[in-house]
Amino acid sequence: MMIPFRRWELHELPALTQGSTIEIWSVKTCSALDSPRYVIVFFQTKKADNLHEDVTLFDNANIKSIRLALNSDYYPQERMLLDFSKDQYADAHFNYTEFNKSYHNCQEKRSLVNFAEFKSRPMFVIDCSRRYLGLKSSTVDMNFIKRSLVWNYFEKKEQGTVTECISCKKKVPNKGNTSNLMWHLKSAHPKKFRELEFLKRKRNDSDEERFENESDHYETSVDNENTPSISEDGITNFLELEVLEVDESSSSSHVLSPNPMSVRAMSRSPKVTHTKQKSMTQYTLSKRQEEMITDAVVYFIATSMQPYNIVEQHGFKHLMKTAVPSYKLPSRKTLSECKIPKLYNETVQKIKDRLAEINEMSFTTDCWTSTGNKPYIALTAHYISKEWKLEGVCLNCAELNEDHTSDIVAAMLSHLLCEWNLEKLKHQTFTTDSGANIIKAIEILKVNHIPCFGHSLNTGVEKSLRIAELQPSIGKVTKIQSAFAHSWKLSRDLHEKQRQFNLPIMKIPSYSRTRWWSMLRLISVVVEQHIALVSLLGEFSGGKYKHLVLNQDEVSLLQEVIKLLRPMQDISEHMSGESYVTASTILPLLNQIQETYNDKAEETQVDIEVNSTCSTIMNIILKTFKNRYIENQNVCRLLQKCTFFDPRFKTQFFEEVETAEITYIVNKELKDVVRNEVIPPRSKKKLSGLAALLKPKKDVGTVDSVGTSVQDYDLEITKYLGLLQLDTDEDPLLFWNTHTANFPRLSILAKRYLCIQATSVPSERVFSKGGRVVTDVRSALTTEHAEQLIVLSLNRHLISM
C-alpha cells in the first residue's frame, strides 16, 4: 500500500520489555511546520531483523484501548472501545476510513483495507490535525497495560463464552473476572499456581523499579548521526501514545510505524532514533517556554521590588542555571527598557479599562522624599465594584521636583487625574493629611476633602503627651530607651533579669516622635518590665542609671495613660483599612469616645491628680477631632452623608435638626440622580401554581421595590430609614448588594459616599513600598523606573500570570 505524504517520518520503537505493564517512548518532529497531523500506528510480532518474514505486513496485538496525547490534549478525547479478541474493532476501522476521507478531501470514504480484512492487519489512525498549533511541546508517554497473567494457563473457546484450562482441558466458568480461574489453578494445579505467583511478583518488581525513575521509562538505541537536528527556534513536538491491554504472547517485539508504506521504501530516508534525556542540560526549551520563564522573572522582580541587576548576581544566576540550564536570563537593560515598561503599560491599561466603568470614586494623596532626596507624590483611587466590593488601585507615585506650594500640588493632582481620564468626575473626594499646602490645593481643585483620621489622632495624642503633668514620667521613659539603645550590655543584662523575675523576654523598643503608637508601645514595655528595670538600673555600672527608675506614682500614672490610649490604638488600626467602609464610622466613633471619656471622668477609684491628667489628655484629643470634623461645616456635612448611607448607623447619632437637614440634602441629590442616571426597573418574579392563585399579603418585614419616576425618591428614603439598623459587626456593602433593586437611586449615592477613605494610609503604603524600591543601594534609580516598580508592586493583583 502506498499513500503519498508531503512529509512523513518513521519512528521504529524498540521491543516491549517482557512482563512490563507500561512503556514510555519519545516521538519527536523537527519543527513547527512539521507538527504531526496524523499518527498511524502498526504492530508486528517477531519480524524485526528476520529475513524470512515480510516486514510490510502487520498483525494483531490484541489491543483493547489506544489513544494519543499531543501537548496534553488527547485524541480521541474518550478511549476507543476496542477488543480484537471479541471482534470489537469498529472504532479503529472508522478512524482509518475517516483519515482517507479527510486526507483526500472528498466525501467518499475510500478504504484500501475493507472491514473484513482489517482485523488481520489493524492500523490505528489518530487524527490530530485540528489541534491548537500554538502549543509546541509536552511529555512523551507510550503506555501498554496487559491482561492478567493467569490467562497464560487458560484460553477462551466458543467466541469467548467458555474458558478452558490448557493443562487439564477442564471448562471453568468466567464471568468478567479471573477469581474462578485463580481458584481452579490453586486447587487443581498447585505447581502452576506457585509459578503464576512468582511471575506476578516479578512483574510488580519490574513496574515499581520503572516508575521510581522516570528517566528510565524508555530505552532506545543511540545514533548521533541519525538524530534529527532541531530548528533554530528550538521547537520540538512530542507525542504521548497510550495503549491498553496488549496480549502478552505478542508483546515482546511490537514496533510503531507512521504509515502503511513499504519499510523497504522508507529505508531511503534516514532512520530516526532518539536518546533518553540523561540530564537537565539536554532539555531544550521552546520559544514559548522561554517567554513564560522570562515573564515569571519579570513578575518576580516587579512585584517583589527586586533590583534590575539581580539577573547579574551570582546567586540568582546559579539558581536559574540549576533549575533551567538551557534558559538564558534577560539582561538588566532588557528588563529596564523593555520588559518592565511593557508590563507597566499593560497594567495601566487594565486599570484604565476598570476605572472607565466606575462613576463614583474617591482618592487619597500624600507626599514623600526618598533616601536619594527625590520628592514624590502618590495618588490612589478607591471605588465600589459592581459586586459591591470596596477596591483600590495605586495610580501614581510621580516625581514632584518643585516647591510643594498649594498651586503646584493642585496642578500636579489635576495633571495626574487627566492622565487617567478622571478629571470629569463630578463628585471627587480627597482624603489627605492636614498640611496647609495640601488643604489649600484641595480648595483650588474645588473638590470635597476629608482630613486623615490617623493624622488627626496622631496630632491630638502628641499634644496630650507634651503636657506638664506627664513630662517627668515621659522623660524618664525616653532616657531609659536611649540608654538601652547605646549599650548592648544593658540589653544583655536585661534578659537575665527578665528570666530571674519570670517576665517575657523582650527588648526595649525604639519610638518615633511622629508615630504616637510607638511611644505607647515603649511606655507599655517599660511599665510591664518595671521590676526587672528597677533591679537592673539600680545596680548596673555602680548605679549609673538609678535616677531613671520610675517611682510608684509615675508607674500608676502611666498605667492609666495606657488604659486611656490603648482603645485609641485599636481605633487607629481599624480606620487604616481600605477594603471595608471607614469614613462612615468617624462620627459614631467620636460620639463613642466622648461617652467613654464622660464615664472615665465619673470614676472615683483613681487618684484625683491622675484622673485630672487623664481628663486633660482626652480633652486635647477631642478638641483636635472637633476642630477638624465637627466645626468644619463642609467636612461635617460630608461625614453625615457617609454615616446616613451606612445601614449600621443611618441617623442614629444625629440631632433631630441634623436629621431633617441631611434628609433634605439627600432628597436634593436624588433628584440629580434621577435626571442624570438611567435607573433600570426591577424585574418581577413570575408567580406560578398556588403562588399565582393566592397573592401573598405584604409582610411588614419586607421591602417593596420603588417606582422609577421622579416622585418616588422621597418614598425610597422613607423605606430605607424604616428598616432596622444592622449590627455594627455586619457588612454595609453586603446590605446594599442585597437591596440595590429596592433602592436603585440610593444605592448610587451609597457607592459615592461609602467608598471615601477615613485615612490617607493607602498613599502612605505607597511610600512604604517606595522606601523598599528606592533604597540607599538603589538611590540612583530613575524616577520613571521607580514609579513603574512601585505601581506594579501595589497593583500585582491585576497582573495575570
Tens of pLDDT, residue by residue over 764-773, are: 888 676 555 5
- Block residue for cell numbers 513536538: 237
Would you say residue 458 lies in a domain?
no
pLDDT for 121 equals 64
pLDDT for 779 equals 52
Mean pLDDT of 237-260: 43
Would you say residue 203 lies in a domain?
no
Would you say residue 691 lies in a domain?
no
Q: Are residues 750 and 767 in the same domain?
A: no
Report the SS3 class of residue 100. Answer: helix
pLDDT for 33 equals 46
pLDDT for 64 equals 62
Could you list the residue range(s) of the whole structural domain that residue 500 is in? 466-631
Q: Are residues 299 and 238 in the same domain?
A: no
Tell me what percent of the residues of the chain surpass a pLDDT of 90: 43
pLDDT tens for each residue of 207-234: 444 444 433 333 333 333 333 333 333 3
Mean pLDDT of 734-741: 94
Backbone angles phi, psi at 198, to 5 degrees: -65, -45
Decide if pLDDT at 557 tops 60.
Answer: yes
**Range of lowest pLDDT (137-146, 371-380, 510-519):** 137-146
pLDDT for 215 equals 35
pLDDT for 297 equals 94
Q: What is the DSSP letter of 339?
A: I
Q: Are residues 184 and 320 in the same domain?
A: no
Q: Are residues 548 and 606 in the same domain?
A: yes
Decide if pLDDT at 31 tops 70.
Answer: no
Q: Are residues 364 and 387 in the same domain?
A: yes
pLDDT for 485 equals 93
End-to-end CA distance of the chain: 50
**Range of lowest pLDDT (193-202, 397-406, 525-534):** 193-202
Q: Are residues 74 and 99 in the same domain?
A: yes
- Is the peptide bond between 258 and the residue preceding it cis, with omega within 30 degrees of 0? no
Name which residue leads in pLDDT, 561 or 778.
561
- Domain finish residue from 258, 278, 298: 278
Q: Are residues 316 and 426 in the same domain?
A: yes
Decide if pLDDT at 422 tops 80.
Answer: yes
Decide if pLDDT at 798 tops 50.
Answer: yes
Mean pLDDT of 414-418: 94
Q: b or e along 293-317 (b: 16 or more beta carbons within 10 Å of the residue's beta carbon)?
A: bbbebbbebbbebbbbebbeeeebe
- Block residue for cell numbers 486635647: 620
CA nearest 428: which of 378, 367, 359, 366?
A: 359
- Block residue for cell numbers 483526500: 104
Q: What is the DSSP letter of 684?
A: P
pLDDT for 79 equals 58
Q: Are residues 342 and 480 in the same domain?
A: no
- Domain finish residue from 229, 247, 278: 278
Decide if pLDDT at 138 tops 70.
Answer: no
pLDDT for 688 equals 56
Q: Are residues 172 and 308 in the same domain?
A: no
- Identify whether the C-beta of residue 422 lies closer than 8 Å to the C-beta of residue 729: no
pLDDT for 777 equals 44
Would you say residue 82 lies in a domain?
yes
Q: Are residues 298 and 429 in the same domain?
A: yes
Would you say residue 497 lies in a domain?
yes
Name which residue leads in pLDDT, 590 or 778.
590
Name which residue leads in pLDDT, 313 or 121.
313
Q: H helices of 121-262, where?
A: 179-188, 190-212
Mean pLDDT of 124-141: 52
**Strand extents, DSSP E, 223-357:** 237-246
State the pLDDT confidence band at 409, using cuts at 50, 70 and 90: very high
Q: How far apart are CA 541 and CA 581, in angstroms?
A: 54
pLDDT for 284 equals 79
**Range of lowest pLDDT (2-6, 66-70, 410-414):** 2-6
pLDDT tens for each residue of 437-496: 999 999 999 999 999 999 999 999 999 999 999 999 999 999 999 999 999 999 999 999
Mean pLDDT of 22-44: 61
Distances in Å between the Cα of 795 and the Cα atoms of 304, 308, 350, 775, 789 are 12, 19, 10, 20, 10
Would you say residue 664 lies in a domain?
yes
Q: How far apart are CA 39 and CA 241, in angstroms?
A: 10
pLDDT for 338 equals 93
Would you say residue 252 lies in a domain?
yes
Query: What integer best gives the mean pLDDT of the chain?
Result: 78
- Domain finish residue from 239, 254, 278: 278
Q: Are residues 228 and 140 in the same domain?
A: yes
Mean pLDDT of 339-358: 93
**Range of lowest pLDDT (598-602, 691-695, 755-759):** 691-695
Cell numbers placing 137: 511541546
**Range of lowest pLDDT (489-493, 575-579, 678-682):** 678-682
**Strand extents, DSSP E, 170-293:** 171-172, 237-246
pLDDT for 378 equals 92
Residues 6+ positions from 107 with CB-CB distance below 8 Å: 101
Decide if pLDDT at 586 tops 50.
Answer: yes
- Identify whether the C-beta of residue 562 lies closer than 8 Å to the C-beta of residue 616: no
State the pLDDT confidence band at 351, using cuts at 50, 70 and 90: very high
Would you say residue 94 lies in a domain?
yes
Q: How far apart are CA 577 and CA 758, in angstroms?
A: 9
pLDDT for 48 equals 66
Decide if pLDDT at 191 tops 60.
Answer: yes
pLDDT for 32 equals 44
Q: Are residues 249 and 178 in the same domain?
A: no
Name which residue leads in pLDDT, 238 or 622.
622
Element containing residue 116 per DSSP (H, E): helix 115-118
pLDDT for 258 equals 40
Decide if pLDDT at 67 tops 70.
Answer: no
Q: H helices of 677-760, where?
A: 690-693, 713-722, 732-739, 744-754
pLDDT for 672 equals 81
Based on the structure, what is the number of domains in the chain? 5
**Range of lowest pLDDT (8-17, 385-394, 625-634, 650-659):** 8-17
Q: How far apart are CA 433 and CA 638, in angstroms?
A: 17
